[in-house]
Amino acid sequence: MLPQRPSTSKPERTGLPLWCYLAIAAGALVTAWSLFGCAPPSGGHNPVIVGDSIAFTAQLDGELTKYMPNIFMDNQPGRGMYRKGILTNPDGSWRAGTSGAEAIPPILTWLTPGGWTVIELGTNDMDLDPTMDEASISELLRLVPGCVAWVNVWNNQNDATRLRSRQFNVAIVNAVSKRKADCTKIINWAGEAEIHAFDYLKDGVHPTPLGSAKLAQLIKAATG
Structural domain contains residue 6 = no
Q: What pLDDT does 91 receive?
A: 85
Q: Kindly report the CATH number assigned to the domain that includes residue 64.
A: 3.40.50.1110
On whether residue 182 sits in a domain, the answer given is yes
- Smallest Cα–Cα separation from 49: which of 82, 6, 12? 12
**Domain encompassing residue 211:** 12-223
117/137 Cα distance (integer angstroms): 14
Task: Give the burial class of 162: count Cβ atoms within 10 A of its Cβ; 0-12 exposed, 13-18 middle, 19 or more buried.
Answer: middle
Rounded to the nearest 10 degrees, the angle between the axes of helix 100-107 and helix 133-141 is 20
* Coil, helix or strand at residue 102: helix
pLDDT digits (tens, 9 = 90+) for 10-66: 444 444 444 444 444 444 443 333 333 444 444 446 789 999 999 999 999 999 999
Domain-embedded: residue 93: yes
Residue 2: inside a domain, yes or no?
Answer: no
Instruction: Specify if 3 maps to a domain.
Output: no
**Burial readout 50-84 (b: 16 or more C-beta within 10 A, e: otherwise):** bbbbbbbbbbbbebbbebbebbbbbbbbbbbbebb
- Give me the pLDDT at residue 93, please: 87
pLDDT reported for residue 5:
33
pLDDT surpasses 70 at 77: yes
The pLDDT tens digits of the residues spanning 128-145 come to 999 999 999 999 999 998
Residue 200 domain flag: yes
- Ramachandran angles phi, psi of 159, nearest 5°: -60, -40
Residue 7 domain-assigned (yes or no): no
Contact 177, 139 (CB under 8 A): no
pTM of full prediction above 0.85: no
Q: What is the pLDDT of residue 188?
A: 97
For the chain, how many structural domains are there in total?
1
Q: Is residue 115 part of a domain?
A: yes
Tell me which residue of 15, 5, 4, 54 sits closest to 211, measured CA to CA.
54
**Backbone angles phi and psi of 149, in degrees to 5:** -125, 120
Asked if 59 contacts 216 with a C-beta cutoff of 8 angstroms, the reply is no
pLDDT band, very low/low/confident/very high, at 7 (cuts 50, 70, 90): very low
CA distance 217 to 189: 10
Sequence-distant (6+) residues with CB within 8 A of 17 are 36, 37, 38
